Amino acid sequence: MSQQNTDFRTPRARAAGLGSAKDGVHHWWNQRVTAIALIPLGILFVFPFVNALGQPHAEVIEIYQSPWNAIVAVLFLGVTALHLQQGLQVVIEDYVHSKPLLTAALLVNIGFCWVLGLVGVFAVLRIALAG
């Protein structure tokens, strides 16, 4: 391992940020935050939703014009989009080994989850605020 060092940086500086996790526990912690938030939000969202699914349009609008149901749905869809992005990122990082493909997949994942979350939030707000 006696390699000629032509770099003026210290070995410590060259290794910084290149570990397996790259950004410490930041991603891990954020995934716990969204997971914990989804415990109450999941319970509060799922019951009105399974009740509303299959109902006629007017009934669905009425259910989600209730401020309570609308706020729960907005929070649930928003936090779900974040948790989905975090979860899919870990799956992608585990199974995609080509660096260019990995970067592309991570970018697509971020874009997909943000669009999904924002469309969902916008739709619920439009129903709730339509009057």
| Among 13, 16, 46, 108, interactor with another protein by CB under 8 A | 46
Q: Which of residues 8-27 bind another protein (CB under 8 A)?
A: none
Q: Rounded distance, CA 37 to CA 117, Å?
A: 16
Q: Does 73 bind another protein (CB under 8 A)?
A: yes
| Among 35, 44, 102, 106, interactor with another protein by CB under 8 A | 35
Q: Where are the beta strands (DSSP E) in 1-131?
A: none
Torsion of CA 89, 114, 43, 48, to 10 degrees: -150
Cα angle 33-49-88, degrees, rounded to a multiple of 5: 40
Taken in order 70, 74, 77, 79, the sign of the CA dihedral is negative
Q: Does 106 bind another protein (CB under 8 A)?
A: no
Query: How many residues lie near another protein (CB under 8 A)?
Result: 34
Using CB under 8 A, list all residues that contact another protein: 32, 35-36, 38-39, 42, 46-47, 49-51, 53-54, 57, 60-61, 64, 73, 77, 80-81, 84, 87-88, 91, 116, 119-120, 122-124, 126-127, 130
